[in-house]
Amino acid sequence: MNSASSDVTVPPARPAPPSVHALPNGLAAFLVFFSSGAVLVLETVALRLVGPYVGVTLQVTSSVIGIALAAIAYGAWTGGWLADRRDPRPLLAPALVLAGIATAITLPVVRYAGEVLRGGAASAILLLVALAVFVPAALLAAVTPLVVKLQLADLRRTGQVVGRLSGIGTLGGITATLLTGFVLVAALPSTVILLALAVSLGVTGLGIGWYLRRQVRTELPGPARAKAALAVLGLVGAGLTTVAPNPCDIETAYHCAKVAVDPARDSGRTLLLNSAQHSYVDLDDPRHLEYAYTKWFGAVADVVAPAGQRLDALHLGGGGFTVPRYLTATRPGTDNLVFEIDGGLIELGERDLGVRQGPDLRAVTGDARMLVAGEPADSRDLVVGDAFGHLVVPWHLATREMAAEIRRVTRPGGVYVQNVIDYPPLRFIRSELATVGAEFRHVALVAPPEALAGEQGSNFVVVASDAPLPLEAVRGRLAEVDVRASLISGAELAGFVGDALVLTDDYAPVDQLLATA
């Protein structure tokens, strides 16, 4: 006899009905896309916020990326933990509103803290970057797991839901990165970008709160006093931004730039990039060279050809256009071609530093490495390398391949001079000398004796040519313009360089070589 249960037909399993608490798919996608994109806007702009205080080096870039990833990890972890213990709906609006407030407060916090944490110490870099990125990024990263939890109405579609929202979040980050890097940073100051982002986050959070209140009769957690306090905090953050110290006159696509008047010289102007002194210009006397390394440049330029003879000069980096103006004044008719990656600096020079483009000066916006490749061979008598990212020569301008391009452009009797900054134990300048020496037959170095002895950091000027250098003439001119400068070459230079690494496009650890021991 069969059991009664054998005649019972078990109906097939059916998917659970969609949760009434789930968000519409379009809204869920928007929240994930928007919050993920906002994190990448913060990450990109953070480099510009901290740059004036700790520079824009590989260590700073690595710190921004690392701390942003840490914020994303902790934020997502915390958001997922909360989503499993509470209804995620009342948490979405506060997360966005708080992220907006934290974003608004970031500006004054970084600017006040930056004045205290100036310098390149690793602890200062990490702390300042954390103040710029961590809290708002962590709050924004918590949004995605909250949304995912709300959308998991059918366990059989878990992979599809998580995969779709994860992909949308990634697309939000990609879109924000490209939009910020290619459009926003070039068009707007960092202050405007962050305040606009803060307002967008706040408005979106309030909008989500209003929508959920209407749809599922939920309120933002907390009494009215707490909400009012949050609103006041956001307004205070925005207000502090207007009075916080701003190290920039203008923000270009690459720099926080400022022109300061020399109190000891009415016509003197100092160009500061990311708060570091970069160039000095005398508006009334282009022959005046204030900084030691520009005097060394001038000394070499004065003896590479008979006095007053015009030159065809190529400048890698414009800055304050000090050397092109000097050559025009001392050698009328000189053709100065300047490659400057930052078009904003060219405009600033024309506005505040007496730069006048014409037959004797042409400024081209673009990367020097790319532009040099398009120059004719044997076309320049003098090539001046003075390009920096903060205090560091960009690595792709410091390699043997770049030196080969410069040698190709330089005439057989022409001269290449390059400004390098280094500190004890002087690993970078030794490597750069080895690199330039791998391409040019004759190389010399100008620097103070204390720097050559490894006792202090300094500017160094590399002098190179395929023809024998006029060393005695250079020494004589250096003695006239800067008695502290020493010129070494030959066996003495070889002993200084030792077995230093030759930098190549494949391996050029410039930032690591510059790090002090």
Which tens digit of pLDDT belongs to each residue from 273-290? 877 788 999 999 999 999
pLDDT digits (tens, 9 = 90+) for 223-247: 555 555 555 565 566 566 556 666 7
- b/e burial code for range 17-30 (CB count within 10 A of at least 16 → b): eeeebbbeeeebbb
C-alpha span between 55 and 160 (Å, rounded): 43
What single letter denotes the amino acid at residue 159?
A: G
For residue 13, what pLDDT is reported? 44
For residue 22, what pLDDT is reported? 80
pLDDT digits (tens, 9 = 90+) for 74-118: 999 999 999 999 989 989 999 999 999 999 899 889 988 988 888
Ramachandran region of residue 419, left (φ > 0), alpha (ψ -120 to 50) or beta? Answer: beta
| DSSP category for residue 156 | G
CA distances 411 to 121, 402, 441, 471, 504, Å, are 43, 16, 13, 18, 23
Is 50 in contact with 128 (CB distance < 8 Å)? yes
What single letter denotes the amino acid at residue 44?
A: T
pLDDT digits (tens, 9 = 90+) for 197-219: 999 999 999 899 888 888 765 44
Structure-token pair, residue 381: 């008598």
C-alpha span between 317 and 366 (Å, rounded): 10
pTM: 0.78
For residue 8, what pLDDT is reported? 45
Is 82 in contact with 221 (CB distance < 8 Å)? no
C-alpha span between 448 and 494 (Å, rounded): 17
C-alpha span between 17 and 30 (Å, rounded): 23
Is 500 in contact with 433 (CB distance < 8 Å)? yes
For residue 427, what pLDDT is reported? 96
The more confidently predicted of residues 56 and 366 is: 366
Compute the mean pLDDT over every residue in the chain, rounded to the nearest whole number. 88
For residue 1, what pLDDT is reported? 42
pLDDT digits (tens, 9 = 90+) for 412-421: 999 999 999 9
Place of tokens 């809204």: 27
Cβ neighbours of residue 328 closer than 8 Å, sequence gap 6 or more: 286, 334, 336, 360, 361
Residue 15 burial class via C-beta count within 10 angstroms: exposed 0-12, middle 13-18, buried 19 and up: exposed
For residue 2, what pLDDT is reported? 45
pLDDT digits (tens, 9 = 90+) for 442-477: 999 999 999 999 999 999 999 999 999 999 999 999
If DSSP codes are grouped into helix, strand and coil, which group holds residue 443?
Answer: strand
